[in-house]
Chains A and B, each alone.
Chain A
């Protein structure tokens, strides 16, 4: 017949993938080293499309790497460094065993070290790539910078992380690129727009960490090793774009934020933003301009305001936030270095307080709770301060990251905020709107009721009809039944759809069912939230009424 018999698993997808152990053997690395290499080089397992084929007929769960990835790792200079390090450790152990202290010192001096510069460049060929992938790096650096020097990782790493994170914050302040903040129960989320890329990071609250035991800090340290390198280069480049000197002369304990300008031409960058509008049509230009204006207004949200942070307020996040939007911030001198003015400065406009009452109040400044600052940033306007006075029950703090789509549940606070943003003055009218909504709902209910009764009647009739014997043979003048044409049409359409669904192929039917199920679930959840809110509001109203009654009764 001609030709050799084709063997199984010798071509195609089976040869494109390799299991982890095989990859490890090929690279001649221990598992720990292999993992470290994967972390540094950003190699991750791939899920083959046809797993059984790739697994050579077995269905055992295995992780697969791309053969190309592994081949790519073969030429990595860091692998040689790993081997050198292994030898170094062996030699060091030997020297220790023989108590050759001179040898130990000599070995330590020649400890093999590796650099990750080339890997950063390789993983992120362009600067924008690096910015796009900065979220995890920032979160990790901010986390590590909050670690105590307890030996979970090297002190140098912690210091480096602290330095880099402060530099990053400094850049954000200088470029005024912060967009959103969110006080979650996990930590504080920040979102900035850096060179057109949204970068989100989370910072834990300032508390000592209760270090868990089931976390492998070596893995985290390896990640941090790479992230610090990446962040260092990114910071360098970012400072360059602002024409700032790097490294800045910042005192890393507090957010000093006094970077030295090489020469101030911010205007140039601004022009750059406005320039590329040749091809765009006028409409887009208008939109762009509007956006630009909005952004400018956001950037100068707190311009000209003078804040004073009380002792109990988280200083660093607030100082960072306020400075990002152009405010002046200070705090008590005894608290931390970097305070510029005192409490009794008469020009202070806002004092951020997080205690129920303040002893000594100045009449010419607002006393507000910290949430005001965060809510202002998220809503992009200066919100009325009345709701945020000390001791007042705060309005709910909403996540700025939620984008409400059609059919999603929108909390009423959000609606109120939106109306505020539109420049409307919310007040009594909103309540009226609510009432309207309720009325509408009532109408719907009525409709439903009518339908229900109709159907009931029909059913009864039918039953009577069908029970021929029980029916007394009397002829009654028939009523003219109003046929709801719309309804009929709808029903017809629904039936049509149902029948068409019956004719769907099995695969498509499955998909369709899934989609429909997901949609239904969404609706259900939204309804549930709405119902909960309604119940809560009702309970609140009842409480209020009770209180009113009580007070009136007393009077």
Chain B
């Protein structure tokens, strides 16, 4: 018995070890194999027999030794193994504990409690697949029918023991009174315990499904004899508590309890006295005490420590891989091949036929071999030059790269190499600004030419240009610059005009601000910052008179009336009327008479200016009248009749312009309102119009109607001077921003032409009285004479042609020519400059 126990335990261990491998049913079989191996190794005496349950059972019966137990043990082995496979050792232990509680008499029973499983297991093993279901069914003791089913499923070889089993069960249920059939009784008992165990752990039922076939399971059942001295079976021994016997022996005679039951005191004494008490176990079945042998104790200890039951078992055997790449001559299982492995699958057949059909119909084509690389052919075989897309109309083809010049050669002519300074300059330039994107170099021979380091860069930049640069079609200006020059009449055809400087009038010691020519053209008056007025003879350049005045002369104007010899000049706040006393004596005297013929009016009017008579010494000088203004006077201008004189006092007030009548010594302010800083004023030569130039506009007033007629906008920043064509329909005005604007009053209020001939500010402009000439004087030291023809035909626009640039004045203190005036009859022009001279160009 001890042997069996050991054996059982060892197998348990074996199962535990093999547990991880035994999840699927097939696997469990394999592990079984290993178990078998280990068993063989244990070296115990075993007889190889058929794997029939029945046979083993019989053998067990034959052996005299406690057959039942042994059988149970064997069965136990399996059950335990099954359980241990899934639930480990503890489970089996707990089971045994339960059994212990139940069965007081028999200590062997605790193992036997699981034995019931075994039968089932045996059955299951044969039909392993549906085993689980049957297990659970088995668990329900009552359902015999199910057992029947089970039996039918079972193989023929196992049928017989099962029928027996059924009977045994039946008997067990009826408390197995008969008991004559030892085998049956034993079976029933086994059954009973099995059921009990199953009831305790129904959840485990399924686990035992994977039990291996028990072919050689009973090999080790060498001991035929089983302890069946008590035939009560696996029942709770409490039932016999009140009886004097504890069961029946094989002959049906009562087995009597020991005469004297141990009471507590006996127990205690035993405990105290018996040195083997700790290893004594009570067998409730037989009512005897059993003393465990040393081996058994050792086994228990080992198990308690969690060691392997069999001391000689090597846990670390080399692993044998059954499912290796090597083909074994023997199958791992002897399970016959499935039927389905012989019969061709219908589903597959259907699939294949579908594919075949698809191939036949051309739905499935074999995979084309991949075309590798370029497939070239004559792309332009059918080229149609007219098939240009609409898009291509807007197509701007990329410009070709620039072709290299001599300087890019590896061996350029020496003049293309850069000097040191040029090299330095090249290096300091931004790469974008460089004219050459490389440094020209010279190599003695081709061998020494290195790789150009920016080659890839250049190709890359070209790529970028091709796809990132915005393209625009630009009309290439391929014009001859000569064609751009306007075709103008030749100046020679426009003669006469002043061409050369013929006379220089020297004498002033400061810049000459203003000049004026007498209506006869014989005399020239000039006013300067040196507080003098000089009168020159035009033809000889002789200074006839020098008149000192009390301040820098701002403006000077000769009376245009040839019958009167009178010069008006202004300095500070004074305006002097001067009779120079030159030329015809008669004229001079008439002038004096005209001035003297003034009769005081009866009622004196309040005037904004004072009309004063000069003192004697002044009279000697030639001064005839003094008009004292409230403010400094900038400009003076005569009416063409010679009686009216306009003076300009630029200011913020409304009295900027005053018109004086000489004969009546009367002054009036024509404007009530200030319309801006007045720069200069002028009378219309023929009509009663009055031109007032403010900073940006020229206003034309009708003096009779006393209304504004026109407002010309000069398109310039600051008007400096103004002149009116003798016919009166055209006005020119010069401005400080170096422009000369020509207005045609018939055309519009905007300039007909703006001439930017000068480089610097214009100081004065003038029209010739008779010739179609006008001149402009500027700070750049030049006087430009233009031919300005005005036609009587209103449809023809004025013709403006510059004819001469007259240079002569030197620029002093950033001032060039300050004033310009034409000779009244000759095509001569006078200019006064900051270099203290007055010059005549003829």
Q: List residues of chain A with CB under 8 Å of any chain B CB.
A: 35, 38-39, 43-47, 49, 63-64, 66, 68-69, 72, 109, 115, 117, 120-122, 124-127, 130, 132-133, 135-136, 139-140, 143, 156, 160, 182-187, 189, 200, 204-205, 207-212, 214-216, 219-220, 223, 228-229, 232-233, 235-237, 240, 246-247, 312-314, 354-355, 369-371, 393-394, 396-399, 401-402, 411-413, 466, 468-469, 492, 495-504, 506, 508, 511-512, 515-516, 519, 529-530, 532-533, 536
Q: A46-B471, A125-B387, A133-B398 are in contact. List 4 more A-B contacts (CB 8 A).
A: A44-B469, A492-B492, A499-B803, A500-B488
Query: Is B380 among interface residues, defined by CB-CB distance under 8 A?
Result: yes
Residues of B within 8 A of A130 (CB): 380
Against A, the Cβ 8 Å flags (1 = close, 0 = not) of B297-327 are 0000000000000000000000000000000
Contact B404 A186 (CB under 8 A): yes
Query: Is B416 among interface residues, defined by CB-CB distance under 8 A?
Result: yes
With known contacts A140-B459, A143-B455, A515-B481, A533–B379 Cβ distance under 8 A: no
Contact A189 B403 (CB under 8 A): yes
Query: Is B704 among interface residues, defined by CB-CB distance under 8 A?
Result: no
With known contacts A371-B446, A533-B415, A136–B484 Cβ distance under 8 A: no
Contact A205 B457 (CB under 8 A): no
Tell me if B's interface is mostly helix, strand, loop or mixed.
loop
Contact A512 B481 (CB under 8 A): yes
Query: Is B506 among interface residues, defined by CB-CB distance under 8 A?
Result: yes
A122 to B403, CA, bound (A): 28
Query: Is B374 among interface residues, defined by CB-CB distance under 8 A?
Result: yes
Query: Is B458 among interface residues, defined by CB-CB distance under 8 A?
Result: yes
| Chain B: minimal CB distance from A445 (Å) | 21
Contact B506 A468 (CB under 8 A): yes
Contact A204 B451 (CB under 8 A): yes
Contact B484 A512 (CB under 8 A): yes
Contact B488 A185 (CB under 8 A): no
Interface segment, one of B247-255, B406-414, B625-633:
B406-414
| Chain A: minimal CB distance from B775 (Å) | 14
Residues 365-419 of B at the A interface (beta carbon under 8 Å)? 370, 373-380, 383-385, 387-392, 394, 396-398, 400-401, 403-406, 408-416, 419
Query: Is B337 among interface residues, defined by CB-CB distance under 8 A?
Result: no
Contact B486 A500 (CB under 8 A): yes
A355 — nearest CB in chain B belongs to which residue? Answer: B447
Contact A139 B394 (CB under 8 A): no
Contact A504 B485 (CB under 8 A): yes
Number of B residues near A (Cβ < 8 Å) is: 90
| Chain A: minimal CB distance from B674 (Å) | 35
Contact B376 A504 (CB under 8 A): no
| Chain B: minimal CB distance from A449 (Å) | 25
Contact A394 B455 (CB under 8 A): no
Residues of A within 8 A of B687 (CB): none
With known contacts A236-B376, A240-B378, A314–B488 Cβ distance under 8 A: no
Q: Which of B459, B488, B490 has the largest count of A CB atoms less than 10 A from its CB?
A: B459
Contact B376 A68 (CB under 8 A): no
| Chain B: minimal CB distance from A311 (Å) | 11
A208 to B445, CA, bound (A): 20
Contact A228 B391 (CB under 8 A): no
Contact B459 A398 (CB under 8 A): no
| Chain B: minimal CB distance from A186 (Å) | 4
Contact B376 A246 (CB under 8 A): yes
Contact B410 A183 (CB under 8 A): yes
Residues of A within 8 A of B462 (CB): 136, 139
Residues of B within 8 A of A501 (CB): 485
With known contacts A125-B384, A189-B403, A499–B491 Cβ distance under 8 A: yes
Contact B471 A354 (CB under 8 A): no
Residues of A within 8 A of B441 (CB): 185
Residues of A within 8 A of B419 (CB): 532
Residues of A within 8 A of B755 (CB): 502-503
A412 to B416, CA, bound (A): 12
Query: Is B791 among interface residues, defined by CB-CB distance under 8 A?
Result: no
Q: Which of B411, B477, B490 has the largest count of A CB atoms less than 10 A from its CB?
A: B411
Query: Is B450 among interface residues, defined by CB-CB distance under 8 A?
Result: yes
Q: Which of A47, A64, A182, A369 contacts B445 (CB 8 A)?
A: A369
| Chain B: minimal CB distance from A514 (Å) | 9
| Chain B: minimal CB distance from A203 (Å) | 10
Contact A237 B380 (CB under 8 A): yes
Contact A212 B457 (CB under 8 A): yes
Contact B458 A236 (CB under 8 A): no
Query: Is B662 among interface residues, defined by CB-CB distance under 8 A?
Result: no
A229 to B377, CA, bound (A): 11
Contact B802 A503 (CB under 8 A): yes
Query: Is B55 among interface residues, defined by CB-CB distance under 8 A?
Result: no
Residues of B within 8 A of A237 (CB): 378-380
A411 to B412, CA, bound (A): 10
| Chain B: minimal CB distance from A210 (Å) | 6
Contact A232 B409 (CB under 8 A): no
Query: Is B757 among interface residues, defined by CB-CB distance under 8 A?
Result: yes
Contact A211 B415 (CB under 8 A): no
Contact B380 A397 (CB under 8 A): no
Residues of A within 8 A of B455 (CB): 143, 186-187, 204, 209
Contact B802 A502 (CB under 8 A): yes
Contact A46 B470 (CB under 8 A): yes
Contact B466 A136 (CB under 8 A): yes
Contact A45 B403 (CB under 8 A): no
Query: Is B472 among interface residues, defined by CB-CB distance under 8 A?
Result: yes
Residues of B within 8 A of A397 (CB): 409-412
Residues of B within 8 A of A182 (CB): 404, 408-409
With known contacts A184-B409, A402-B405, A499-B805, A236–B383 Cβ distance under 8 A: no
Q: Which of A45, A126, A214 contacts B471 (CB 8 A)?
A: A45
Residues of B within 8 A of A160 (CB): 373-374
Against A, the Cβ 8 Å flags (1 = close, 0 = not) of B439-463 are 0110111110111111111111011
With known contacts A126-B380, A219-B463, A398–B472 Cβ distance under 8 A: no
| Chain B: minimal CB distance from A427 (Å) | 20
Residues of B within 8 A of A511 (CB): 477, 479, 484
With known contacts A139-B459, A369-B445, A398-B406, A512–B414 Cβ distance under 8 A: no
Residues of B within 8 A of A236 (CB): 376-379
Residues of B within 8 A of A205 (CB): 449-452
| Chain B: minimal CB distance from A121 (Å) | 6
Q: Give me 13 A-to-B residue pairs in the complex whose CB atoms sit less than 8 angstroms apart, sorted by A's number.
A: A39-B466, A72-B391, A125-B389, A136-B466, A143-B459, A205-B450, A211-B456, A219-B464, A236-B376, A497-B485, A503-B486, A503-B801, A504-B486
Query: Is B1 among interface residues, defined by CB-CB distance under 8 A?
Result: no
A214 to B431, CA, bound (A): 15
| Chain A: minimal CB distance from B754 (Å) | 9
Contact B484 A504 (CB under 8 A): yes
Residues of B within 8 A of A393 (CB): 444
Residues of B within 8 A of A120 (CB): 379
Top 8 closest A-B pairs, CB basis?
A: A207-B451, A47-B472, A401-B403, A47-B470, A533-B415, A45-B470, A532-B415, A396-B413
Against A, the Cβ 8 Å flags (1 = close, 0 = not) of B30-55 are 00000000000000000000000000
Residues of B within 8 A of A156 (CB): 373
With known contacts A184-B404, A401-B404, A529–B416 Cβ distance under 8 A: yes
Q: Which of A38, A247, A532 has the largest count of B CB atoms less than 10 A from its CB?
A: A532
A178 to B30, CA, bound (A): 85
A305 to B531, CA, bound (A): 98
Residues of A within 8 A of B563 (CB): none
Q: Which of B373, B397, B410, B416 has the largest count of A CB atoms less than 10 A from its CB?
A: B410
Q: Which of A125, A186, A492, A500 contacts B438 (CB 8 A)?
A: A186
A313 to B448, CA, bound (A): 11
Query: Is B243 among interface residues, defined by CB-CB distance under 8 A?
Result: no
| Chain A: minimal CB distance from B728 (Å) | 25
Query: Is B703 among interface residues, defined by CB-CB distance under 8 A?
Result: no
Residues of B within 8 A of A492 (CB): 492
Residues of B within 8 A of A508 (CB): 484
Q: Which of B391, B454, B472 contacts A68 (CB 8 A)?
A: B391
Residues of A within 8 A of B492 (CB): 492
A49 to B457, CA, bound (A): 31
